C-alpha cells in the first residue's frame, strides 16, 4: 500500500506540553500556567513547568527525530515567549529559541510545520477577557506577523490555530481546560474571535507575499445517531453543528450555520459579536486544511443532561461510546473509518483542497518492560488502521499530503497531566530519558517504505 510521492510523514507536539522552562528566556505566564497551578484542575496537580524539558534538550530530541527518519515536525510557538504580556514588541530571546529549533530541523532535513496558537494564551490577555474580547483577535494578528517575519524564510507550513473548538468549548464552555469558564455564550464569542484572529493573521502573513503554505487545524469528529430514532438524528445534527459546521461553514462558505445560531439565539445568547465584514475576513482562502482526528461522536438525545459540565450537554445531547468499540487509555473509541469519512466530506461538502492529518494517535498504558523496551502493539495497530483509512480517502480522490502522528514524545496531556501517554517515544519523567517505543521503530519503516505492507 503506497502513499503518494513526497508524502510528508511527521510527528507533532505543542509548546506547553513539551517545553518546560516556563520561567526562562523572558517567557510570560499563559492561561495554562495559571490553570495547572490552580488546585483541582489537572490530574495529580501536574503542571507544564518542566514537561519534557525540550527547551533544554532540543539537540537530543532533534537527533532522535532524525535517527527515526521523521520527515516533518509539527510544533507550536508559545505566544508568551514572544510577547510575555500578549502585546507590544517581540522578546528576542523567545524568537531565538524557535530560530534554533527551525535551523536544527533544517540541518537534519526535517520539514518544520509551525502552529502559532496551541492554547497557551498570554495570561495578561485573559485578564482582559481572553478570547471573549474582540481585541484578542487583533493582538493575535500582531503576534502572528512578528513570528512570521522572523521565521518565514525557513518555515514552509504555517498553522494559525490548533483546534478552535477545544479552545472555545473546553476552555470557555465546559471549563475543563484553561481558562476554565463554564458558559456557552462565552464559548460562542470565543469561537468567533478565534476564527476572526485566524482571518486577520492570514491577511498579515499573506501580505508578505512568500510561497509558504498557510492553513488552520480543526479537530473534526463525524457525528452519527446512536440509535435509529428521530430524536437521536436531530441530536447528532446539533452536535455536528457545534463541533464541525460552526468552524467549517464560516471558513469555507463565509457563513455561520443557521441552525446553530438560532438554537443559541432562542436560548437568549447575545450573538451581536459578529460585525460587518468579519465573515469575509474569516473565509479568506487557505492553502491547506489541517485535520486532527481521534474518534467519532455517536450521539444520543439527552435533554436531562442540560446544564451538566460534559461536552454537548448544552445541546441536550451526549456523545456515547459504542459498546463494540475498542477503547484507548483516554477512554476514546477506536474508529478508523471515521477518518476516511471526514476527509471525504471536506472534499465533497466544502473544498477539494490539500489536506494534512495534523494529529492522530492514541494513549496506551505504556511501561518499560524488564528488557528495557516499550512494546506498544496497540499503538502500532491503531496507527496502521488509521494510515489505511487515510489511504482509502486518497483512493477516493482526497488530496491528502501528509500525516503528523500525535505525539513524538509522551507529554503533558492537559487536564490529564502526565497520566496519559501518547508518544511514539516514551519519556521517563524525572530522569528525562527518551526510550523509542516499538511504534517508533515501526513508524520509521513505514516512512522509509512510504507505505504499508
Judged by beta carbon, residue 111 or residue 359, the one nearer ligand FCB is 359
- Alpha carbon distance, N-terminus to C-terminus of the chain: 6
**Contact predicate 26/81, CB 8 Å:** yes
Residue 359 annotated to the active site: yes
Judged by beta carbon, residue 97 or residue 294, the one nearer ligand FCB is 294
Residue 163 annotated to the active site: yes
Judged by beta carbon, residue 146 or residue 425, the one nearer ligand FCB is 425
The 3-class secondary structure across 77-120, one letter per residue, is: CCHHHHCCCCCCCCCHHHHHHHHHHHHHHHHCCCEEEEEEECCC
Judged by beta carbon, residue 91 or residue 244, the one nearer ligand FCB is 244
163, 335, 341, 378: which is the annotated catalytic residue?
163
- Please report how many Cα atoms fall inside a 13 Å half-sphere around the Cα of residue 266, on the Cβ side: 7
- Nearest residue to ligand FCB, scored by beta-carbon proximity: 14
Cβ of residue 420: shortest distance to ligand FCB, in angstroms?
8
List residues binding ligand FCB (CB under 6 A): 14, 17, 162-163, 166, 219, 292, 359, 406, 413-414, 422
Judged by beta carbon, residue 83 or residue 292, the one nearer ligand FCB is 292
Cβ of residue 58: shortest distance to ligand FCB, in angstroms?
19
Cβ of residue 60: shortest distance to ligand FCB, in angstroms?
22
Judged by beta carbon, residue 120 or residue 240, the one nearer ligand FCB is 120
Cβ of residue 409: shortest distance to ligand FCB, in angstroms?
12
**Nearest by Cα to 186 from 136, 220, 252, 253:** 136
Cβ of residue 451: shortest distance to ligand FCB, in angstroms?
26
Cβ of residue 12: shortest distance to ligand FCB, in angstroms?
8
111, 335, 341, 359: which is the annotated catalytic residue?
359
Q: Which residues are catalytic?
A: 163, 359
Amino acid at each position: 500500500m503506497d502513499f503518494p510521492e513526497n508524502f510528508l510523514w511527521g510527528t507533532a507536539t505543542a509548546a506547553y506540553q513539551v517545553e518546560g522552562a516556563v520561567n526562562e528566556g523572558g517567557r510570560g505566564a499563559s492561561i495554562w500556567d495559571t490553570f495547572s497551578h490552580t488546585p483541582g484542575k489537572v490530574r495529580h496537580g501536574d503542571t507544564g513547568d518542566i514537561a519534557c524539558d525540550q527547551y533544554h534538550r532540543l539537540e537530543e530530541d532533534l537527533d532522535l527525530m532524525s535517527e527515526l527518519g521523521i520527515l516533518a515536525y509539527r510544533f507550536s510557538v508559545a505566544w508568551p515567549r514572544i510577547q510575555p504580556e500578549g502585546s507590544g514588541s517581540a522578546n528576542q530571546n523567545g524568537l531565538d529559541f524557535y530560530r534554533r529549533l527551525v535551523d536544527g530541523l533544517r540541518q537534519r532535513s526535517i520539514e518544520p510545520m509551525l502552529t502559532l496558537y496551541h492554547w497557551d494564551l498570554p495570561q495578561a490577555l485573559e485578564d482582559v477577557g481572553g478570547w471573549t474580547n474582540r481585541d484578542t483577535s487583533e493582538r493575535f494578528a500582531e503576534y502572528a506577523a512578528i513570528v512570521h517575519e522572523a521565521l518565514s524564510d525557513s518555515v514552509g507550513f504555517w498553522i494559525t490555530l490548533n483546534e478552535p473548538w477545544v479552545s472555545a468549548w473546553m476552555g470557555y464552555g465546559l471549563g475543563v481546560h484553561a481558562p476554565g469558564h463554564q458558559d456557552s455564550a462565552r464559548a460562542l464569542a470565543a469561537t468567533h474571535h478565534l476564527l476572526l484572529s485566524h482571518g486577520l493573521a492570514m491577511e498579515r502573513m499573506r501580505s508578505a507575499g512568500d510561497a509558504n503554505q498557510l492553513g488552520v487545524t480543526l479537530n473534526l469528529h463525524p457525528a452519527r445517531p446512536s440509535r435509529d430514532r428521530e430524536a437521536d438524528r436531530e441530536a447528532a445534527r446539533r452536535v455536528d453543528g457545534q463541533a464541525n459546521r460552526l468552524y467549517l461553514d464560516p471558513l469555507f462558505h463565509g457563513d455561520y450555520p443557521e441552525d446553530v445560531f438560532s438554537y443559541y439565539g432562542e436560548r437568549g445568547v447575545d450573538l451581536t459579536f459578529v460585525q460587518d465584514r468579519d465573515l469575509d475576513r474569516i473565509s479568506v482562502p487557505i492553502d491547506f486544511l489541517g485535520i486532527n482526528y481521534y474518534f467519532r461522536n455517536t450521539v444520543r438525545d439527552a435533554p436531562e443532561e442540560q446544564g451538566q459540565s460534559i461536552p454537548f450537554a448544552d445541546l441536550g445531547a451526549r456523545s456515547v461510546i459504542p459498546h463494540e468499540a475498542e477503547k484507548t487509555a483516554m477512554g476514546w473509541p477506536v474508529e478508523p473509518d471515521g477518518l476516511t469519512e471526514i476527509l471525504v466530506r471536506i472534499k465533497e461538502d466544502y473544498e477539494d483542497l490539500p489536506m494534512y492529518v495534523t494529529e492522530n494517535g492514541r494513549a496506551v498504558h505504556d511501561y518499560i518492560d524488564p528488557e528495557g523496551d516499550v512494546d506498544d502493539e496497540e499503538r502500532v495497530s491503531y496507527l496502521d488502521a488509521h494510515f489505511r483509512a487515510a489511504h482509502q480517502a486518497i483512493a477516493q480522490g482526497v488530496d491528502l499530503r501528509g500525516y503528523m502522528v500525535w505525539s513524538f514524545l509522551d507529554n503533558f496531556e492537559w487536564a490529564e497531566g502526565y497520566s496519559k501517554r501518547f508518544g511514539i517515544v516514551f519519556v521517563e519523567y524525572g530522569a528525562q530519558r527518551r526510550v523509542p517505543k516499538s511504534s517508533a521503530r515501526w513508524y520509521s519503516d513505514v516512512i522509509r517504505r512510504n507505505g504499508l505492507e
